[in-house]
C-alpha cells in the first residue's frame, strides 16, 4: 500500500479519498478579486468579478497581473463537494 501525496488544494475527505485512488480531480472554485482597501469584491459595471475554474492558481495570477498586490488580493473559494 502507498500513501498518496496530496496537493494543498485537495483538503477535504472526499478529495483525499479520490487522490488515494490515484485519480485526483480538481475541484471547481470561485476566484474573486478583492480590493484590500475596502475588503469588497471588485465590480465591473456593477456586477462582482468572479471566475469559476478548476485551475484557481492560474485564474488568481491572471486577475492580479499588472495590479499592485499591496492593494489587491485574489480569494479562492472551493465550491460544492467533490465530483
Q: What is the pLDDT of residues 25-60, one digit of tens each?
A: 778 999 999 999 999 999 999 999 999 999 999 999
Report pLDDT for 3. Answer: 38
Cβ count near 23 (within 10 Å)? 7
* pTM (two decimals): 0.65
**What are the percentages of helix, strand and coil residues in the chain, rounded to 5?**
20, 30, 50
66: left (phi over 0), alpha (psi -120 to 50) or beta: left
Alpha-carbon gap, residue 36 to 56, rounded angstroms:
19
Amino acid at each position: 500500500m502507498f500513501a498518496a501525496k496530496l496537493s494543498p488544494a485537495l483538503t477535504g475527505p472526499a478529495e483525499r479519498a479520490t487522490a488515494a485512488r490515484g485519480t485526483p480531480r480538481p475541484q471547481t472554485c470561485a476566484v474573486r478579486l478583492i480590493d484590500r482597501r475596502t475588503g469588497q469584491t471588485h465590480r465591473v459595471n456593477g456586477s462582482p468579478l468572479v471566475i469559476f475554474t478548476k485551475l484557481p492558481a492560474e485564474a488568481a495570477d491572471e486577475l492580479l497581473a499588472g495590479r499592485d498586490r499591496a492593494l489587491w488580493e485574489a480569494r479562492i473559494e472551493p465550491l460544492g463537494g467533490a465530483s
